[in-house]
């Protein structure tokens, strides 16, 4: 990787903040929640093949706060396209996983797209949306912003150091929603070997959808498999017509009833309003599917996969993505 200049924001975000430990009381509480073993969630699977996820050639320059001189953000991991049983433990082994091109630029339990970026890189909304969750979940991606983009499309931006938006806020395409970091239990365990990155989830009607497309599939990126940042004046006409997804409380409650953990089940059922409940249900069932005996529909009807997303970084930082 050819290194460009250090990111100014990289120097402004302190060590505790980048790891999700600021404020200190919140960070300690989040770590303690992870250390309390949940009997309903099997421990993650590790192995020697897990060493392949570190990729120091990409991680070291980002650790030093440097971006590629060509302006392309490197992809660190793709979505694993090999289905796994919902009750299977979370796995960081590089064994059965295959990315959208049939390669191994992923690992068995990986269900998002990772972009290597220095701490403090601004992260933007990939499409207009409503902020439905801002939280610190050390075992589910660290500090995050979850956006409902309407028509069943839902994204989460994970491992953030700092957040710029609040729940219930409507954001426009390209608006800064936070700054990248290293929050999450994996970084506390494996720094400095794990590269700082943005973990970007894309879900449609509650199910994981790879934003990259195989032949015959529809890509979520507006430029198919070549995601680029938003530029002013290039907004789709339907951006102005954004409305949040309509969630059916009865469907959500049916999914909550399928949760095997009584404490989590009670907590989910008490979340109001319904869009906050939907965000909590989607997050838990996609990160801990084994908690649910069955993954049920959570939104009325089915929405098509559509090319609606831009790169979740501003054009002032990256001009596109570098695919491995």
Report the pLDDT value the prediction gives residue 191, as an integer from 0 to 100.
87
Per-residue model confidence as pLDDT tens for the chain (324 residues)? 444 444 555 558 999 999 999 988 888 888 888 777 777 777 888 899 999 999 999 999 999 999 999 999 999 999 999 988 887 888 999 999 999 999 999 999 999 999 999 999 999 999 999 999 999 999 999 999 999 999 999 999 999 999 999 999 999 999 999 999 999 999 998 988 999 999 999 999 999 999 999 999 999 999 999 999 999 999 999 999 999 999 999 999 999 999 999 999 999 999 999 999 999 999 999 999 989 988 898 887 889 999 999 999 999 999 999 999
Report the pLDDT value the prediction gives residue 294, as an integer from 0 to 100.
84
Report the pLDDT value the prediction gives residue 3, as an integer from 0 to 100.
47
Model pTM score: 0.94
CATH class for the domain made up of 3-243+302-322: mainly beta
Around Cβ 163, how many Cβ atoms within 10 Å?
Answer: 18
Spell out the domain ranges in the chain: 3-243+302-322
Report the pLDDT value the prediction gives residue 265, as an integer from 0 to 100.
95
For residues 3 and 275, give the distance between their C-alpha atoms in angstroms, rounded to a whole number: 42
CA 60 vs CA 14, 51, 193: distances in Å: 18, 15, 8
Q: How many whole angstroms from its chain centre is CA 69?
A: 25
């Amino acid at each position: 990787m050819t290194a460009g200049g250090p990111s100014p924001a990289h120097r402004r975000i302190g060590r505790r903040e980048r790891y999700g430990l600021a404020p200190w009381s919140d960070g300690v509480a989040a770590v303690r929640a992870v250390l309390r073993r949940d009997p309903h969630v099997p421990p993650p699977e590790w192995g020697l093949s897990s060493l392949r996820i570190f990729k120091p050639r990409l991680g070291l320059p980002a650790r030093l706060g440097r971006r590629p001189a060509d302006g392309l953000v490197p992809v660190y991991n793709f979505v694993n396209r090999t289905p796994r049983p919902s009750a299977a433990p979370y796995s960081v082994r590089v064994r059965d996983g295959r990315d959208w091109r049939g390669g191994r630029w992923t690992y068995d339990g990986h269900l998002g797209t990772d972009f290597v970026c220095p701490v403090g890189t601004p992260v933007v909304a990939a499409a207009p949306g409503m902020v439905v969750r801002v939280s610190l979940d050390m075992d589910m991606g660290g500090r995050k912003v979850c956006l409902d983009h309407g028509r069943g499309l839902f994204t989460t931006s994970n491992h953030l150091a700092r957040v710029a938006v609040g729940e219930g806020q409507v954001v426009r395409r390209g608006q800064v929603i936070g700054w990248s970091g290293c929050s999450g239990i994996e970084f506390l365990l494996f720094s400095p070997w794990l590269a700082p990155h943005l973990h970007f989830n894309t879900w449609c009607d509650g199910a994981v959808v790879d934003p990259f497309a195989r032949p015959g599939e529809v890509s979520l990126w507006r430029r198919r498999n070549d995601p680029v940042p938003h530029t002013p004046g290039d907004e789709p006409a339907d951006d102005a017509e954004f409305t949040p997804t309509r969630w059916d409380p009865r469907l959500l409650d049916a999914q909550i009833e399928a949760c095997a953990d009584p404490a989590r089940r009670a907590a989910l059922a008490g979340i109001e309003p319904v869009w906050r409940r939907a965000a909590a249900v989607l997050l838990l069932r996609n990160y801990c599917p084994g908690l649910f005996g069955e993954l049920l529909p959570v939104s009325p009807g089915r929405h098509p996969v559509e090319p609606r997303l831009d790169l979740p970084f501003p054009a002032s930082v990256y001009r596109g993505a570098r695919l491995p």
